[in-house]
Amino acid sequence: MVRSLLAFGFAMLLARGALASPLPPVEDYGKLPAMSTLSLSPSGQRYAFVAEVGGVRRLYVATTANQPIESDTLGSLKVDNIEWAGEDHLLIHISKTVDLGMEFLVSKQELEEVIVVDLKQHRSFSVFGDRKEIEISRTVIGTYGTAEINGHWYGYFGGLEYDQLNLYKVDLDTGDTRFTRSEESDLAGWLLDAKGELAARLRLHSKTGQWRVLAGKTVGGEIASGSISAQSVTEDVSLDGLGRTPDSYLLYVGDAEHGQLREASLSGGPVVATFDGSTFGHVMRDRTTKLWIGTTSPEDGGRPKLFSPERQAKLDAAFKAFPNEITHLISYDADFNRMIVKTEGPDDSGTYWIVDIAKRSANVLGEEYPTIRADHIGASQRIDYKAGDGMVLNGILTLPPDRKATNLPLVVIPHGGPEDHDILGFDYWPQAFASRGYAVFQPNFRGSDGFGTSYRDAGFGEWGRKMQTDVSYGVAELVREGKVDPKRICIAGWSYGGYAALAGVTVQHGIYRCAVSMAGPSDLPGMLAYERDSTGQTSTTTRYWRKFMGVTTGWSQTRDISPAALADKADAPILLVHGQDDTVVPPEQSETMAKALRTAGKSVELITLPGADHWLLEEPSRVAMLKASVEFVMKHNPPDPASTVTAAK
């Protein structure tokens, strides 16, 4: 199916159920996308993606004319990213939960593995897979780029050898692994140029917060230094690649509480430019030179802004082909002549297109949720409202399909993070609730990113406090406008959103009829102890959580905002869902909450998902979570009778 880039104003050529279609079972919303992780080769002649077909995960590689090149079964591998090295090699980045053993304070960790696929020889291997001296087999501690040297491709990876972090050069044809250099224990990252040459190194002392950037291969060569205060730090310091020229680099610094992206010279001297880091989505890079060519903006739905007027014109032409949809750039070739874009909207649950600028056309590659048709997608809109202190906030309201926004039952879904944000687009969990007759509200409370530093910083110290009331002020505004029924409201969330759901019926009262917490922290002192054991007492991660939770003296300061400590005050039934292999929020957080609620004689259900991680990247666990949460809400907060459907079962 083709869309002409000249026909900007015409209707969608992709017909999405012009006639009414049967309501799909709720499981269809919970399935993993039918295709994901799409990546275009530098020439734009090839693309790769991961497909879910009949419950089987596969890697597909084809030409953009849809001639097959490679098809491999991935089994249960959790693919995070696909990266091209030239036209003939793929780097498949996967994550896996590994039990490190009882000798570690936190035994389970989510570790990275990289699989190299050689498309010429039709073979693959795992980086470090056959190196016995690597202490944790096949574990990659950072990927530092690829380079073509004398017509041969190499990848650069960090690896552990007897507790020593080393940089290795890996031949992407043979798997031959060569030691490149080792560093002291305070290394926080390497920066390599497009030729594989070491351009800079970042050192960070976690206890003192002192950091410095060293240029080139020499031991010295300091070009920048500073510190991050243990009292004010909320972010790490990181090298973010080359700048706009080969002799510049990007550095993210979170000192003075305000995240900044700095562009500076590799030879020293003043900073060239400084940018508000909280308004950045992603740094975009040239496929050949690795130079910084533009950024995405979270507030604008991730729409890229490129430095090159010529490239920006091509990108704008691609986006103009989809005037009525929310459009995202997924991948691009070296010259932006071919791009993969994704559309979504009120009649689109996610469609991938290959856009050819020269041919002025766009071809459909596939759909994320092919069984979810237009008449079962709820329309979404951004709403603005004010908190009690006058701060202007925003959120996303999704309505049930073909329903007016009048006196609707509501499910509130605060996002995780908490430094994250929700934008317009198809989101499977809210859409599952909307399909069953609920309005869904996703508030971007203070502390969310994407809306500037002051918006993010306003959340410091406001866990369970203003961050929590920001959610209920949004609910109150929807009630005031007559859009939702104040007596039919539940709250559900994931990670920090799961905490907000628990706090909604323990810290707060009289608002919600039920609460669903997916992997939500409940015992904040225990959560801080887990972070300390995982990353260290003075690590930037531990300091980050202390800052957001408002801990200035002792962890006891969090007692009045810890749902587990307030279990006897819970005023609504609670569903707890947690992955057994969650390495971000340990399952003990939900177990502690369940025990406290049962002791207090409160209504609680606990579902533990065997082998599931924090993100539920395996389809059975994601489907189980979604089905359980929808059934729980429908039981305790029934939708209008006309919207009650047996398909939820």
Say what the pLDDT of residue 517 is.
Answer: 98
Rounded distance, CA 645 to CA 629, Å? 15
Say what the pLDDT of residue 570 is.
Answer: 97
The yes-or-no verdict on residue 6 having pLDDT over 60 is no
Strands in 143-149's sheet, in edge-to-edge order, are: 143-149, 152-161, 164-171, 177-182
Say what the pLDDT of residue 2 is.
Answer: 38
Q: E-assigned strands of 231-372?
A: 238-242, 248-253, 260-265, 273-276, 283-285, 292-297, 303-306, 326-332, 338-345, 348-356, 361-367
The yes-or-no verdict on residue 460 having pLDDT over 80 is yes
Q: Please name the residue that has the structure tokens 């065997």.
A: 610
Compare 206 and 564 and report the one with higher pLDDT: 564
The yes-or-no verdict on residue 235 having pLDDT over 60 is no
- Chain centre to alpha carbon of residue 623: 19
The yes-or-no verdict on residue 220 having pLDDT over 60 is no
Q: E-assigned strands of 176-237?
A: 177-182, 187-192, 198-204, 210-215, 222-227
> Domain locations in the chain?
1-17+34-76+308-364, 87-179, 183-298, 381-648
**CA angle, residues 233, 81, 212, in degrees to nearest 5:** 30
Model confidence at 533, pLDDT cuts 50, 70, 90, reads: confident
pTM (two decimals)? 0.88
How high is the mean pLDDT of the chain? 86
The yes-or-no verdict on residue 105 having pLDDT over 60 is no
Please provide the DSSP assignment of 41-83 as one string: -TTSSEEEEEEEETTEEEEEEEETT--EEEEEEEET-EEEEEE
Residue 255 · residue 248 · CB < 8 Å:
no
CA dihedral 128, 132, 137, 141 (to 10 degrees): -50
The yes-or-no verdict on residue 230 having pLDDT over 50 is no
Integer angstrom CA distances of residue 188 from 54, 141, 183, 237: 42, 11, 10, 8
The yes-or-no verdict on residue 324 having pLDDT over 90 is no
- What ranges in 464-539 are assigned the alpha helix state H? 466-480, 496-506, 524-535
The yes-or-no verdict on residue 272 having pLDDT over 60 is yes
Say what the pLDDT of residue 645 is.
Answer: 45
Residue 349 · residue 367 · CB < 8 Å:
yes
The yes-or-no verdict on residue 572 having pLDDT over 90 is yes
Compare 56 and 629 and report the one with higher pLDDT: 629
What is the average pLDDT across 370-377? 91
Rounded distance, CA 183 to CA 188, Å? 10
For 459, the token pair is: 């959340």
Residue 201 · residue 183 · CB < 8 Å:
yes
What is the average pLDDT across 273-282? 72
Model confidence at 452, pLDDT cuts 50, 70, 90, reads: confident
The yes-or-no verdict on residue 412 having pLDDT over 90 is yes
Residue 575 · residue 564 · CB < 8 Å:
no
Is the peptide bond prior to 486 cis by the omega test (within 30 degrees of 0)? no
Rounded distance, CA 640 to CA 486, Å? 14
Q: Which CATH class is domain 381-648?
A: alpha beta
For 154, the token pair is: 């190499």
User: Which percentage of the chain shows pLDDT scores above 70?
Assistant: 86
Model confidence at 38, pLDDT cuts 50, 70, 90, reads: very high
What is the SS3 assignment for 414-457?
Answer: CCCCCCCCCCCCCCHHHHHHHHCCCEEEEEECCCCCCCCHHHHH
Stretch (H or E) spanning 154: strand 152-161
Rounded distance, CA 469 to CA 391, Å? 12
Rounded distance, CA 7 to CA 87, Å? 32
| 127-146 per-residue burial string, b: 16 or more CB within 10 A, e: under 16 | bbeeeeebeeebbbbebbbb
Residue 98 · residue 613 · CB < 8 Å:
no
The yes-or-no verdict on residue 323 having pLDDT over 60 is yes
Compare 106 and 187 and report the one with higher pLDDT: 187
State which amino acid sits at residue 91: L
What is the average pLDDT across 389-416? 95
